[in-house]
Each structure stands twice: as C-alpha cells, then as structure tokens.
Chains A and B, each alone.
Chain A
Amino acid sequence: MATKLVVDPITRIEGHLRIEVQTDRGRIDSAWASATQFRGIETIMKGRDPRDAWAFVQRICGVCTVVHAVASCRAVEDALGITIPANANLIRNLVHGMQFVQDHVIHFYHLHALDWVDVVSALKADPAGTARIAASLSPWPNNSATYFKSVQDRLAKFVKSGQLGIFTNGYWGHPAYKLPPDVNLLAVAHYLEALDWQRDVIRLHTIFGGKNPHPNFLVGGMASAINLDDTATINAERLVDIQAMIRRAQAFVEQVYYPDLIAIAGFYKDWASIGGGVPNFLACGEFPEGDIKDIDKLFFPRGIILDRDLSKVHPYDQKLVKEYITSSWYEYPGGDDQGLHPFEGETNPKYTGPKPPYEYLQDEKKYTWMKAPRYEGRAMQVGPLARMLVAYGSGHKEAQSLVGEVLKKLDVGPAALFSTLGRTAARGIETVMIARRMNSWFDQLVTRIKSGDTRTFDDSKWEPSKWPASSEGYGFLDAPRGALGHWVQIADGKVSRYQCVVPSTWNCSPRDANGQMGPYEASLVDNHPLADPERPLEILRTIHSFDPCLACGVHVLDGTGKTVAEVKVQ
C-alpha cells in the first residue's frame, strides 16, 4: 500500500521547498513539489524609478545575486533604447561568468555532494590511498598523504567532539552511498578547499560591483570607471588581480571540480537511468559577445529540444509561453484552468491550503505558490542540461567535445544525459566552458583599454526627460539555474508593470490544467527508487540535481488585473 511521505524543509537549496510523495515497495509513484514562501516583489516595483529596478529585483535571490540585476538592466535598456558600451558588456560577462563558476562549484561541493559523499566514511580512509587517487585524477598540487591525513584528523576531532553540527542526523551509512572511504576523504578535503576558493574568486564582483553578495549594477553600463592613472578606478593593479582570479577559478574547475565530478559519477552510473523526467528543454542563451539583440553571437545558444531529440533544435519564441495556476494559490477571473501569457498575466494570490500547522498538501487541488509555465502547452526543463543539449544540438564544437568526453569517460551512451546524473554532469561541463571563456572576455577588455576605449556607460538616455511617454522591454538571461526573462513597462518615468519568469518556476512548477507534472515532480516518478522513507536520500539527489532556487521561483504578485499591450521582443 502506498505511503504518504513529506520532506519539508528540503535543505541545501535556496529558499523553502516542500516535497511530498507517495511511495510503495521502494519506488516513488507520485510526487508534489510545493513552494511555501511568497514575497510579492513585482507589486513593490510599481511606481518606482526604472533605473532602481535592478536593485529591487536583485533581492529576489542572494545566491543568483547577479542574474536578476542584469536581466533587469537589459529589460530597461531594451525599453529605453540604450546600447551599452562594449566594455560594459564584457564586464557584465565577467561578473556573470564568475557567478556561474562560483555558484556551480558551491552547488557541487556544499549543496549536492553530501547526497553522494558519506562524510563519516571518510574517517576510515587511508590517506595514502586518497593521495594515490588524487594524483591519478589531476595535477592539483594539494595531493599528499600528509595533507589528506590532516583533513582526516580535523574531521575525526570534529566527530569525536560529539557535536556533529551541520552533519547531525545526516543519512550516514545509508546503503545508497557507494563511494569507497578513500574517495569520500578526497571529497571532504575538496569540500573544505572549495569553501576557501569561492571566497577568493568572487572578489571579482567586489572590484566591479563593490561587494558580493548583491554587487551594484547600472542601467546603461557599469559604474566602475576605467582609468589606468588613478587609484580609485579600474587600473592595472585591479586588472592583474582580476586576471589572477580568473586563472585560479579555471584551475580549480579543471583540476578539482571536473575530475571529482567524473570520479564520483563513475560510482553512481545507475543514476544515469533515474530521474530523467520531462523530455523537453529550453535555453534562452547567454553571454552576448556582440550586440545583445544579435542572438547568433551568444556564447551559449538559444533554442528548444523536444522529446529528447537532439537532431533538431527548435527556435524559442517567448510569445508561446503561458502560465497556469490550476494547482497554484492564485485565481484567474477568466477561470483557473486557462493559460495566460506573462503580458496578460494576472497574479491574484488566493490561499486555499490548510490552516497551519498542517500535515499534507497532496490531497489539495492547489498546493504551491509556484505557477506552472508551459511552452506551447509543454512542461520544459531549464538549466545546465538544457543549455548543453541545445548547444550540442546546435553544433557548438566545445560543448560537443566535452559532452562526448564525459560520456566516454563514464562509458555510457547519450541516453544517460536524460537523468539525475546527466543534470549534475552538464553543470560541470558548462562550468569548464565558462571558466575557459572568461579569459577571452578579459583579453578583449584589456585590448579595448589598450586601444584607448575606456567607456563603461552610455549616458544618452539617463535623464527621464529623454524617455518616451511610455515604453516596454524584455530582458533575457540564461542564469546558472536556467532561462530567465524580465518584462518591464514604463509610463511617465515610472515602472507600471514588472514581470519575471524564472528558472525555478519552470523546474518547480506544479501540475497544469492537463494534469501534466512539472520537472521536479516528473523526475521523481521516473524510474525512481526510495529505499527507506525515513531517510529520503534518493529524493534529495534528484531534487538537488536541479539546484533549486525557490526565492527566485516565487516572487510574483501583480494585483492590478490591468490589460497590457504586447511588447516588442527581439
């Protein structure tokens, strides 16, 4: 008989996520993903200065601390007809690139790894064995037996203290953990190294944006002026620091993260046939290397893959996006089963769930604050796997080469990509690509400065007196967690409407009017094991493979009900 199970809170994610499942005889039969936080930032945007918008929407998420700010700047710049200087675009690429690299590494080691790595098992490791494995995987210099012994001693002291802290009640000893002790020790060592590494490389944000999290941006470009002959500007000292950070970022990704990912994945190849879920993938593309409107100049291409068919990449047209609220705590005046494009979108919150404290949501018709976006009626996965599949299908040489390399090293076929393991592997692959590419953006920036171009800001449309009476714009951005869109309308110098469709809204979406599950839900019922409902380790593996970001997904609120004209989208 099926058992109802609740996992709330799902930890090691951003935000507040609740997963409910029905499980029977070691399998998951049905799943419900529920976002249990709501903030209402879009309503707060109304009536604000559009040049302030980036700062407000940036606070949608402090993990994706760059993505909403840049998407917002792009939307406002699109609305006002601003073309930012090439230097500003390169700086934004560097800042966003470092966001990707840092965020993906943190996800792997600090959010996802404990699903695969048994920390307590590392106590039984032979440090010399760990050292041999490390040396066989990579030239990373921290690979001596002495080093791994010191890590193990530190861990042993911690465990013996009897205060297990963040490791309390972990699922240690669960039969689904497969790594040998020596590999577990390697992962624990790199867990700690990555903590130090991320703090260093993210300083690139501080140089260009003044701080991290929540660095500063600017509609029209970037505020960090370039002057080689001043102490308070981007000068040679700062550029050298930035270049060194890029090199250290790349070294860690290529010599630690990527080899660890392959090594650990090799012990979990059964997860290459688990958790595939929704077969459709959407990427809006990212890292403009020319004019933002020239989508052929995006480093990660834009497109759609349907039914896992990599032989055809379909064009993405934002007009075909509709949002459903059949299972969400909102109401549409025209009926809750219709789908609405974001520009016609209504967001009237109406909580119909049980009064807290409550036990289950799965018996409710509506069970989440997340809406259900659909593309031509289809649920879509977004994120690293979507980007790598679209790049692969589009003939992106580097993506094809790296995807092929990973499949070969793991000795699995392309079908393995459509799985929990595939999502985690794709994240590592794109991190390698971005870490390498940052060198090119940096070199271009230096070349431009050398040629005498130091412009970082376009002031032609800064003053509201130069704006049209009304305007509207779209800002896209493919964020670490997937395709993101911001839509803004400006009237009389103020924001009249602001809408975001966010990666985790796609991935964490609930059932739509046709009963179609969202990607988290569909993955949890796709050939999915659950050995011990008391210790739902397998659920965490699949949910974490999406890198959930719930604050991003649930931010919507617009009580105006106002009809909005179609906007122009490139």
Chain B
Amino acid sequence: MPLLGAAAWSDGGTLTEQLAHRGVSRRDFLEFCGSLAVVLGLGRDAAAQVAQGLESPQRPPVIWIQLQECTGCVESVLRSAEPTIGDLVLDMVSLEYSHTIMAASGHAAEKALADSMAKHKGKYILLVTGSVPLAEDGIYLTIGGRTAKVILEEAAAGAAAVIAVGACAHFGSVQAARPNPTGAVGVGDIIKDKPVVNIAGCPPIADVVTATVAHFLTFGRLPSVDADGRPLFAYGARIHDQCPRRANFDAGQYVEVFDDEAARKGWCLYKVGCKGPATFSPCPIFQWNSGTSWPIGAGHPCIGCTERNFWDTMTPFYGRLPDVGGFGIEQRVDLIGAALAIGATAGVAAHAVATGVHQHRERQRQRQLPIAGQGPGEPPASPPSNPTGGA
C-alpha cells in the first residue's frame, strides 16, 4: 500500500497535502480508497468515509519486540489505567507488532513487522522487553529462526526512539544474575548508536511506560534521564525519601520480624531488609495498579528492582543494608551506583544529610554493624540491636 506509506504521521500536513506533494492525484487516491473499502467489507460506497479516515492524522506507529523475558512487562502495561490499554491501542498509537496480543502468527506476523519497519522507517517508536542472550552465538533465543541480537539490531536501526521496558531490557535481570548462564545483556549493551531509555523495574509500573511514550509524542523527544538512562520524571527520587514510613525510620520505629506489633502498626521495614534507601523508583509516588498500593504499603520490604543488577547487589532480600555512610546526597547516584554495578557492598545513602537529621544518622551509623559479605548466598546477619535505643 504505497499510498499509506506516504502518510508518515510526523511529517506534518494532511495526507492529501502530502500526496499532492508527491504527485498523487485526488482521483487516484479516491480510487484506492474504494478498493480498500471493498477489502474491508464495507462496500465501494464507503470510499468517501475511508478517504476521510485516511486524511485524518495517523496514529504514531509503535513496534514492540519481546526477547528473553517472562512477559510480566507486557502484563504490567495491560494494567495501565491512564490511558487504558484499549485506548492506547485503538485510539492513540498504532501497535504494529506485539507477540502477546497480535492476531497474526508465523509468516504473517513477521511480514507485518517487516512491512511496518520499512513503511515507517525512521518514524516508529521501538519498545523492547527482554534481554539478549549472547552466549553460544545467540542460540538461547531465536524467533522465526533468527537470533534475538539480529532481531533487535534490525528493529532498532529504523527506530525514531528506543525504549527498553523492564529489568531484562535494562540490564538482563534474573537471567543475567550470577552466573548468567546464557550471557544475557540489556538493550543498551547492544544498541550504541542511539539513545536507549531504560524504564527500570521488574516489572515497571505501567504508567511509566505509557507516560514515556506520551512524552516522546507530545514533546518530540525522549525524557531526560539519569546516569543509568532512567527517566527523571519517574526515577528521580529515592524511595526512602518519599516513603510514608520514613517518619518511623527517623523515629527508630522498626519492624523486627514480620507480623510483629510494629508490622501491625505499619512501621519501617529497614531492619527486615528494605532496599528503599538505595533504590530510585516512582513506587511510593505513582503506586501500583491504579494507585491501589505498593510493595512497602503491603508490608513487604522493597527488593530494589529498579536498580541495575539488583538480583546480585540487593540480595539477600531480607538482609539489612549496611550504613556505609559518608556520602552527600548529590554524590549518591554515582558513588553508590558504581558500587552496585560492580557487585560490591551496597550502601545506604546519607539520608540524614538530605533531611536534616544528621545527628540521628551519626548515632545510628556508630551503633550499627555493617553486614559482612553481602554477596548472594550469604545468610543475612542477625538483627542488630535497636540502633536508636527505642527512641
């Protein structure tokens, strides 16, 4: 359908204007619409309606490829509330390819992908979920007989924007945890010639994905990101600094063991392993599933799933973060981020510097013993004594 191919959504101008510019007459266009109307079962009389539809602005094309993953990120986007997934797919964008919900399979599906990439070259938004297994020349994932790496490189080449959705596309997630048997890496490890935005999380909150797409469509560029490629509008704040239980932390009111009296009062989960002090995520602000709750809100410590390599750096999940202290808040991202990236001891940021309770932090730091050997597989240290003396 070469006529449709000319109707690039972001070129500006109506289809008719664009066609005229390309030397296609109004008569030829209406003839085409008549044929299309017949194909669609509407009868030739509907040609004028089809023409009207085609002349209205095109929905921006989105291609979603799914690589080595669990499909949880797709499920998460299905829960999107504003916009709903129905509104998104029917009214806002044109989802050209999506394994999970597209009608066609096999050759018909692959043809839809190839056609769309050719038709919308340089124009489409590419969403990627899943990691790319590089070991053994990529034989740990093939689709249509081709490796994940080849599929990703081809799809990214013609993309206007590349959005890596979820922890697998971000850094490889669980399959990249030690010893990473399949050599799984994230999208940003493969695609180096254009920016890749990382929508971190295992899975991410749906609204962050849809908002990032909306940002690109509305402002014509991808959102600003932090050092790890995560949009600042969502990942710019630390969980610990936004947590409704922060007051309990500052007051030394901790859950010592699950379902104790403190747990039943909704006190701070730091001592049962909460990674909120080392995690940048919109969970406490956006919340999950139409604002219903979030992990800490449901009584479970944060496992740090928006941070790179969290399966190795944030485990054991019920082990307490050591207070390495000494960092100013401005330094935290780089210093702690670097420490996390090399799998070294994770650190709690100097929360007190940011919140003006410096003395409290110093007291706590002196009284708490860091957990030795926080690597995976180490049993967590036994609970420390109350660092604030029951303050």
Binding site for B on A (CB under 8 A): 6-16, 36-41, 43-44, 47-49, 51-52, 55-56, 59-63, 65, 106, 110-111, 114, 119-121, 123-124, 154, 157-163, 165-171, 173, 192, 195-196, 198-200, 202-203, 205-216, 218, 220-221, 223-227, 230-233, 349, 351, 353, 355-359, 369, 454-457, 459, 462-465, 493-494, 534-536, 540, 551, 557, 559
Contacts and interface: CB of A to CB of B under 8 A. Distances in A.
Contact of B104 (A11, A160, A356): A11
B227 interface: no
A232 B246 CA distance: 13
Contacts, number: 365
A454 B1 CA distance: 64
A543 B6 CA distance: 38
Closest 8 CB pairs of A and B: A62-B72, A232-B266, A170-B103, A210-B295, A40-B181, A47-B377, A160-B53, A210-B298
B70 interface: yes
A223 B103 contact: no
Nearest to B7: A162
B270 interface: no
Interface stretch (B54-62, B212-220, B325-333): B54-62
Interface string B175-190: 1011111101000000
B295 to A, nearest CB: 3
B292 A123 contact: no
- The residue among B61, B141, B264, B316 with the most chain A CB atoms within 10 A of its own CB is B264
Given A59-B202, A215-B298, 4 more contacts: A11-B100, A209-B300, A459-B259, A463-B382
A213 B75 contact: yes
A163 B93 CA distance: 9
B56 A199 contact: no
A106 B61 CA distance: 25
Contacts of A170: 103-104, 108
Contacts of B298: 206-211, 215-216, 223-224
B289 A356 contact: no
- The residue among B93, B303, B377 with the most chain A CB atoms within 10 A of its own CB is B377
Contacts of A464: 379-380
B174 interface: yes
Contacts of A212: 75-76, 79, 288-289
Contact of A225 (B52, B144, B259): B259
Given A213-B72, A220-B258, A199 B84 contact: yes
B152 interface: no
Interface residues of B, number: 119
Interface in B207-266: 244-245, 257-260, 263-266
A85 B260 CA distance: 14
A154 B99 CA distance: 23
Contacts of B299: 210, 223-225, 232-233
A300 B66 CA distance: 34
Nearest to A163: B94
Nearest to A181: B41
Contact of B95 (A166, A196, A206): A166
- The residue among A7, A221, A223 with the most chain B CB atoms within 10 A of its own CB is A223
Interface in B55-91: 56, 58-59, 61, 68-76, 78-81, 84-86, 89-91
A43 B265 contact: no
A192 B86 contact: yes
- The residue among A52, A60, A110, A494 with the most chain B CB atoms within 10 A of its own CB is A52
A76 B107 CA distance: 44
A227 B299 CA distance: 12
25 contacts: A6-B107, A9-B144, A11-B99, A11-B102, A38-B133, A38-B182, A44-B311, A49-B380, A59-B173, A124-B41, A160-B46, A165-B93, A166-B101, A168-B103, A207-B293, A207-B298, A209-B295, A210-B294, A223-B299, A227-B264, A230-B265, A232-B299, A357-B142, A459-B258, A557-B181
A196 B289 CA distance: 12
Contacts of A6: 106-107, 145
- The residue among A37, A110, A494, A540 with the most chain B CB atoms within 10 A of its own CB is A37
Contact of B297 (A52, A213, A232): A232
B257 to A, nearest CB: 5
A187 to B, nearest CB: 13
Interface string B263-284: 1111000000000000000010
A12 B102 contact: yes
Contacts of A192: 86
B198 interface: no
B103 A211 contact: no
Contacts of B41: 120-121, 123-124, 173
Contact of A356 (B138, B182, B376, B380): B138
A59 B79 CA distance: 18
B163 to A, nearest CB: 18
A50 to B, nearest CB: 10
B109 interface: yes
B40 A159 contact: yes
Nearest to A329: B139
Nearest to B149: A356
Given A49-B379, A120-B40, A169-B111, A356 B300 contact: no
A349 B73 CA distance: 27
B364 interface: no
A559 to B, nearest CB: 8
B179 A351 contact: no
B127 interface: no
Given A44-B175, A159-B40, A351-B139, A55 B73 contact: no
Nearest to B378: A49
A157 B150 contact: no
A16 B294 CA distance: 31
B317 interface: yes
B63 to A, nearest CB: 11
Nearest to B4: A162
B290 interface: yes
B86 A196 contact: yes
Interface in B18-53: 36, 40-42, 46, 49-50, 52-53
Contacts of B106: 6-10, 536
A166 B102 contact: yes
B93 to A, nearest CB: 8
B376 to A, nearest CB: 6
Contact of A16 (B111, B143, B316): B143
Contacts of A119: 103
A220 B111 CA distance: 50
Given A356-B150, A540-B105, A8 B145 contact: yes
B193 interface: no
B102 A168 contact: yes
B302 to A, nearest CB: 9
A175 to B, nearest CB: 15
B136 interface: yes
Nearest to A164: B94
B350 interface: no
B318 interface: yes
Interface string B327-351: 0000000000000000000000000
Contacts of B191: none
B98 interface: yes
Nearest to A43: B181
B371 interface: no
B147 interface: yes
